[in-house]
Amino acid sequence: MPRLSYRKALTRALADEMTRDESVFLLGEDIRVAASNVTAGLLKKFGPERVIDTPLSEQAFTSFATGAALAGLRPVVEFQIPSLLFLVFEQIVNHAHKFPLMTGGQCEVPVTYLVPGSGSRTGWAGQHSDHPYGLFAHVGVTTVVPATPADAYGLLVSAIRHVDPVVVFAPAGAMDVRADVDFAALAPVPIGKGRVHRAGTDVTVVAVGHLVHDALAVADELAGQASVEVFDPRTLYPFDWDGLVESVSRTGRLVVIDDSNRSCGIAGEIIATVVERVRLLAPPARVTRPDGAVLPFAPALDRAVQPGREQLRTAIQLTLKEG
């Protein structure tokens, strides 16, 4: 079976949707030369009318995309740096997201915001290493964080076809993941549907984005001691609560690993919702970035504030000790 990289899966999704639907076009910084390597080859294939380099005016081109979507096109806006989402949070949340309600349903805003390389890229320091998916889930913007090449393809396709704005976070830690993929089987992945990556009976680990791979590795390591189920929500908003509740109802234990700052992070929401619906055998646990973390530059410091395998192993073991 051929190998597909996560990055190439994104490229393939863009190309397939641009071929399928003339109203899809790309907007962003340095996308013609494919500085992020996600839009590679698309200028040649689709021309400069559909692969549009913008000036460094993130706020204007984000709202330009809103206007183009209101007028019937389907823009895909690429952001080279996750922290740029802070700069355009107003344009996405206050305009693109609010227009359907504020206008009483007069319009649709089908924009996809694609963030290739979200989270730490190691050595890119404080202003290039955020992973702000929780903010978008909080305000109710459709938010997807694919972990695998097939999901990257399928969720990006679904995002582009969706009638509401969608933010697609492609974690830096997953961009180089490769998987054996049957290209003919690549298909849209439904928004709002999680996936059990590995079945287990003792504890459910919810892992977001690239951390799915860490969770799977830890589950393997613990195989002799515990049966760990790994649940990948894939979409953080709207979340597949029924899918997760089904899993935790079987295992009775919950650990969440989430590359967000702890306070008001998505891990807190996941735990709160599960304990509202399921009587657990042991207190739940979460592994996150610290409260208010800013990623420091030095590699050892960068790693120190990111959630990792060692912490996850400890959290799982603590949870298993009780009950």
Partner 1 sequence: MIRSDPVRLYRTVRLIRRFEERALDLVRSGAIVGGIHPYLGQEGIAAGVCAALRDDDLVTGTHRGHGHVLAKGADPARMLAELLGRVTGLNRGRGGSMHAADFGIGVLGANAIVGAAGAILTGAVWARRRRGDDLVGATFFGDGAVNEGMLLEAFNLAALWRVPVLFVCENNGYATTMPVDGAVAGTIPGRAEAFGMQAAVVDGQDPEAVRVAAAAAIARMRAGGGPELIEARTYRFDAHHTFEHVVRLDYRAPEEVAVGRSRDPVEIAGGRLGDADRAAVDAEVEATLDAAVEFALASPEPEPAGALEHLYASGLVARTGDA
Q: Which residues make up the interface to partner 1 (CB under 8 A)?
A: 49, 54-55, 57, 59-73, 90-91, 94-95, 99-110, 140, 162-164, 192, 238, 276
Q: Rounded to the nearest whole angstrom, what is the least distance from the CB of residue 42 to partner 1 in the complex?
A: 18
Q: In three state form, how does the secondary structure of 15-37 look?
A: HHHHHHCCCEEEEECCCCCCCCC
Question: Is the sign of the CA dihedral 56, 175, 302, 292 positive or negative?
Answer: positive
> Which residue lies nearer to partner 1 by CB, 25 or 231?
25
User: Quick one: 194 exposed, middle or buried, by C-beta within 10 A (0-12, 13-18, 19+)?
Assistant: buried
* Whole-number Å distance between alpha carbons of 43 and 152: 21
Closest listed residue to residue 310, CA positions, set 257, 271, 239: 257
* Token pair for 47: 């021309």
> Which residue lies nearer to partner 1 by CB, 21 or 322?
21
131 in catalytic set: no
Q: Rounded to the nearest whole angstrom, what is the least distance from the CB of residue 278 to partner 1 in the complex?
A: 15
> Which residue lies nearer to partner 1 by CB, 59 or 127?
59
Instruction: Please pick, among 95, 97, 128, 162, the residue that the annotation labels catalytic.
Output: 128
Instruction: Name residue 306's beta-bridge partners.
Output: none
* Token pair for 51: 């692969």
* Whole-number Å distance between alpha carbons of 175 and 183: 18
> Which residue lies nearer to partner 1 by CB, 64 or 86?
64
* Token pair for 260: 């967000």
> Which residue lies nearer to partner 1 by CB, 216 or 248?
248
Q: Rounded to the nearest whole angstrom, what is the least distance from the CB of residue 162 to partner 1 in the complex?
A: 7
Closest listed residue to residue 176, CA positions, set 288, 10, 34: 10
Q: Rounded to the nearest whole angstrom, what is the least distance from the CB of residue 140 to partner 1 in the complex?
A: 7
* Token pair for 133: 């998916």
Distance of CA 319 to the CA centre of its chain: 26
Q: Rounded to the nearest whole angstrom, what is the least distance from the CB of residue 66 to partner 1 in the complex?
A: 5
Residues known to be catalytic: 128
